[in-house]
Amino acid sequence: MLVEEIKQYCLSKNKTYIDYPFGDIPICFKVNKKLFAQLYPLENDYKITLKCDMLLAELYRKKYEGTVIKGYHCPAVQANYWNTVYIGRDVEDDVIIEMIDHSYDEVIKTFSKKVQKELLENN
């Protein structure tokens, strides 16, 4: 997937916006001030870090060994809940889309039912 395709897909998620809390890179995608994706659009290090259920994260790491790793930038206690995916290797575009969807859903689940309903309206 190209950088613009990933950006547009992430922004298509309801109430999502871009933030740059760490400078120009990574491009952070948030919903209700919570991060669900970090895109590193570097030609020689093109990757995305996504939130993930711990068991599913481990399955992705085993299936795509070396291409999907624990969130490299995360503190050890959080790394099991984040995956970094090196784009352009052996992960198909539709799987990256599934991972983005899952990450967004994982973040939405952290909010109260009232906030979830507000965030998902018109979705």
- Tens digit of pLDDT for each residue in 86-120? 998 889 999 999 999 999 999 999 999 999 888 87
* Architecture of domain 3-120 in this structure: Alpha-Beta Complex (3.90)
- Tens digit of pLDDT for each residue in 10-46? 999 999 999 999 999 999 999 999 999 999 999 888 9
pLDDT band at 1 (very low <50, low <70, confident <90, very high): confident
pTM of the model: 0.92
Q: Residue 29 corresponds to which tokens in the numbers above?
A: 């995608």
Residue 26: exposure state from Cβ atoms within 10 A (0-12, 13-18, ≥19): buried
